[in-house]
Structure 1
Amino acid sequence: MKSLRTRLLITFAGLILAGFTTLAIMAGGQISSGTVEDFTTQLTEQASLVARALREPVEHAREGETSQATLLAALQTYASQGNVQVTLYDRNGRFLLNNSGDTSGPTGTAEVTAARSGQISTDTRSNIVYAAAPITEDDELIGVVQLAAPLSEVQSLVSERWLTLGLGVLGVTTVATIAALWLSNTLVRPLGNLQQAANQVAEGNFSQRLPENRQDEIGQLSRAFNHMAAQVEAMIEEQRTFASNASHELRTPLTTIRLRSEALRDNLVDDATAQQYIVEIDDEVKRLGNLVQDLIMVSRLDAGQLEVGHEQIEPTRFARQLIQQLATQANTSQITMTLDAPAELPIIEASLSHLQIVFRNLLDNALKYTPTGGTIEWQITAVNNKLHHIIRDNGQGIAAADLPHLFERFYRADKSHSRTIAGVGLGLSLVRLIVEFYGGEIWIESEGVGMGTAVHIN
């Protein structure tokens, strides 16, 4: 398979050669016909001049005042000056004399016949151009002079001009081919760099980048490639982190379950400790189940396989029921949970389970990070038939450095309590995916550590 560089070079050079060859052929044809026309015109003008010059000698010869030798000398002079053959005819078109001294020759030629009628005429026969002009005295025809010149001189000139054209075409084609080679290299070299960079990315070198100094389409392609490579690099890094964190989060409860079950199996603990181990195993199984469910949900959202729900949900009733479900947990920590929402709000068309995942995660987080005696408020308002939720607490708040990362998978803002507070860092990431899946938006505000947190959802 021919390379792109070779195909471009052949195409450019072929088009240029074909174009200039066509132009050269057309120009050469014009030059050839123009040269012959110029030659014929010059011969015609020369015949007219010779006719005027022979007027007096011919008239004297008719009157017997000039000898044939004198007339021959005149013909020879004009023949040598014009490098032509000069033939003299009488008024009736009969051959009289030529510059070679011949006194007999062809008669009745077309150009001589035409000249007898008072016209300067030309004809071409056997690669010889003939021009005949009338010789007149007081508007009376007294003879005809014929000039003959071979076309070989014209053909030689035409050949020279064809050669010049050919050399010109060859020169232009050579220069154009060099330019085409430079252009093809200019076009193909960045593509080669792109191919090498793509191969590097395919081999796992996601840091590969292309220069972006060009402002043309190739520069745009380079910038698009770099953007793609950066996105792929970020995605791969996110997947690696995701896999690492997921395996770590799975390993921890599995280790606890294994150790506790081994202790129970081997009767290494008393009855009270055994009951405690059973509770811990049950908690870890629930934790594993929740983690697996979250991972499945994230995977389905990433793959675009989640189906939109069409259940009719009353926002105020939904919020009240969810707060009631968490009442026991809130009362245990002496946390006050309140709902500020009008009785009549626009109906939500969505999946009830999806909404429960979103707001259960947000309320769980608020309960985890709000100290004993704190408050959590859920406010719902409607503007232009759209709902705006705010879940606000007076808990430990969030550092400014953590705010941009809260929706990243497995990110834990409070790393000092990451083991003591339940959760794996998937909740907010899952919440954002579901909210955006339904065309909404979510953001979190906090004045800083110890200043509480407010989560907004439109």
Structure 2
Amino acid sequence: MKNWRLRTQLILAYAGLILVGFVTLALVAGRQITRGAAEDFEQNLETQAALVARGLEDLVEDYLEGDIGRDVVQTAVNDFAAQLQARVTLVMPNGEAWLDSQGAPPGENLRADLEIAAALAEERTRAVRPDENGTAVIYTAAPIIEDDDILSVVRLAVPESATLSAIRRRQLVLAAGVLVMTLLAWGAALWLSASLTRPLEELRLSALRHAQGDFSPGPIPNRQDEVGQLAQALNHMAAQVAAVLAKQKAFASNASHELRAPLTAIRLRSEALREGSLDDETTHQYITEIDDEAIRLSHLVNDLILLSRFDSGRAEWGQEQIDPARLAHTVCQSLQAMAQQKQIAVHLDIPAALPPVQASQSHLYTVFHNLLENALKYTPPHGQVVWRLAAANDQLHSILQDSGQGIAPEDLPHLFERFYRGDKAHTRATGGVGLGLSLTHSIVTFYHGRLTITSPGLNQGTTVQLWWPLQNMGLTAV
């Protein structure tokens, strides 16, 4: 099957519709024109008969009174016949034809003819019948009246073929009109198909560029219809794909870097241990460092796996009823050594009756743990961390405030990006890789919660607020 282009398909479709439409119009209009032209011709013939009767009225009266000869009337009849290109016959009221433009009048009595009978009754009509030669002829007649008396009847006879010329003239006008309208419609169809397909062609080229990896924005047609909206949506999609690809490249680069660092450390220390030239103290130190790097690597891999589950929608909604107060105390105990090492005071403010939270305990534990661990990491020694929990509007509200180094305003919009570090030197010193907040934000978003981080500026502390639904809103596992 031939692969027609869209513009060709549109042109052919328009051409077919135009052809069918105008052919139908021509057939219907032609039929009406034929009927109308014949009707107009015959009505005009009746009018001409009446005019001839009026024109001959005085002459016929004078002839019948003997004031003029027959030849005078004959001349007038011949003149009318020549002007009208019709046969003119004068008939007496008794039906006898007494004068004819073609010479000798018909010998038979014409009183029974339909048009003669109608004229004698002072009515108008017309009849079509063959003449003596078998030719179809249109007949009509009009009376010559003087003082309410019918002096004679004028009959006009025209071959029926004479109407064809009138019909043909109107049909020629119709054909010319249809031709002009067809050409105009064809031009409009070409213009319309071009105006429709031109932006679509631009969109096609843009889509082909996107398919080849070029996500630069394409031209947007100056129109507000579906085509314009499609162009805007395509450009928006291309921008989103480009942003996602850029994030994927950055993620792959950062992930490989973060994985390479502990692997390199493990490989170097294992090589040194394999040589067997180290003293006992250094050997023990290297084994401890290998163990630490392995733990760090395990945490990193686990975080990446968990992130991928939330991104792909493969994570499951937890159905456990969790006591948030108890979980908060558990998290504080797990990080107690870290707080004591830096001599940071952790104040936990929890009301007596806190409703349970329906979620996965491991998910909520990860969120609490990451937030408190971050607060402890970035709070200098002898600082303090205040953690408040409350319930309002069917949500658990957590507020975590520290007296730490704070966050620069330019870093705030990027805190949830993967592997993002504001103070890179300090982040590396604390052992962070920039995945904790990203993972926390993904978990909170998955449960339709909300997480915000605010800071007045550097060295002015940070406030982290979490809103977590008490119930999972009836959603089932995905």
| TMscore range, shorter length | over 0.9
1:117 aligns with 2:121: yes
1-side partners of 2:411 and 2:226: how far apart? 40
- 1:386 match: 395
Question: Which one of the candidate residues 187, 199, 205 is aligned to 2:208?
Answer: 199
Q: Percentage identity across aligned positions?
A: 51
1-side partners of 2:21 and 2:219: how far apart? 37
Shift of 1:153: 4.3
1-side partners of 2:291 and 2:116: how far apart? 129
User: Any idea what SS the aligned residue of 1:92 has?
Assistant: coil
- 1:353 match: 362
- 2:431 match: 422
Question: Which one of the candidate residues 68, 93, 97 is aligned to 1:91?
Answer: 93
Shift of 1:24: 3.7
- 1:162 match: 171
Question: Which one of the candidate residues 141, 152, 162 is aligned to 1:132?
Answer: 141
Query: Residue type matched to 2:105 in 1?
Result: T
1-side partners of 2:372 and 2:58: how far apart? 131
Unpaired stretches in structure 1, ≥5 consecutive residues: none
User: Any idea what SS the aligned residue of 2:429 has?
Assistant: coil
1:31-430 alignment, distance < 5 Å: 31-59=33-61, 67-104=69-106, 107=110, 108-125=112-129, 126-211=135-220, 213-430=222-439
Q: Using the TM superposition, name which of 151-160 and 177-186 deviates more.
A: 151-160
Shift of 1:64: 5.9
Question: Which one of the candidate residues 4, 28, 32 is aligned to 1:2?
Answer: 4
Count residues with an aligned counterpart. Answer: 458
1:431-446 alignment, distance < 5 Å: 431-446=440-455
Q: Using the TM superposition, name which of 114-123 and 25-34 deviates more.
A: 25-34
Alignment check: 8 A CA contact 2:199 2:221 kept = no
Shift of 1:127: 4.9
- After superposition, the Cα gap between the structure-2 partners of 1:34 and 1:7, relative to the gap in structure 1 and judged at 3 Å, is same
Shift of 1:272: 1.5
2-side partners of 1:311 and 1:239: how far apart? 34
- After superposition, the Cα gap between the structure-2 partners of 1:105 and 1:188, relative to the gap in structure 1 and judged at 3 Å, is farther
Shift of 1:373: 1.2
User: Any idea what SS the aligned residue of 1:420 has?
Assistant: helix
Alignment check: 8 A CA contact 1:24 1:169 kept = yes
2-side partners of 1:161 and 1:103: how far apart? 35
Unpaired stretches in structure 2, ≥5 consecutive residues: 130-134, 468-478
Q: Deviations over 1:295-353 (max 9, x none)?
A: 11111111111111011111212111211121122112211111011021121111000
2-side partners of 1:260 and 1:62: how far apart? 149
* TM-score for the superposition, normalised by structure 1: 0.94
Shift of 1:65: 5.9
* TM-score for the superposition, normalised by structure 2: 0.90
2-side partners of 1:315 and 1:261: how far apart? 43
Query: Residue type matched to 1:124 in 2?
Result: V
Query: Residue type matched to 1:282 in 2?
Result: D
Q: Deviations over 1:48-98 (max 9, x none)?
A: 232234445445555666544333223212212322210122223233331
Q: Deviations over 1:232-272 (max 9, x none)?
A: 11111011111111111111111111111122222132222
Q: Using the TM superposition, name which of 445-454 and 428-437 deviates more.
A: 445-454
Alignment check: 8 A CA contact 1:346 1:386 kept = no
Shift of 1:148: 1.4
- After superposition, the Cα gap between the structure-2 partners of 1:443 and 1:120, relative to the gap in structure 1 and judged at 3 Å, is same
Alignment check: 8 A CA contact 1:368 1:421 kept = yes
Alignment check: 8 A CA contact 1:111 1:123 kept = yes
Query: Residue type matched to 2:252 in 1?
Result: A
Q: Using the TM superposition, name which of 258-267 and 357-366 deviates more.
A: 258-267
Query: Residue type matched to 1:10 in 2?
Result: L
Q: Using the TM superposition, name which of 106-115 and 175-184 deviates more.
A: 106-115
2-side partners of 1:99 and 1:232: how far apart? 95
- 1:29 match: 31
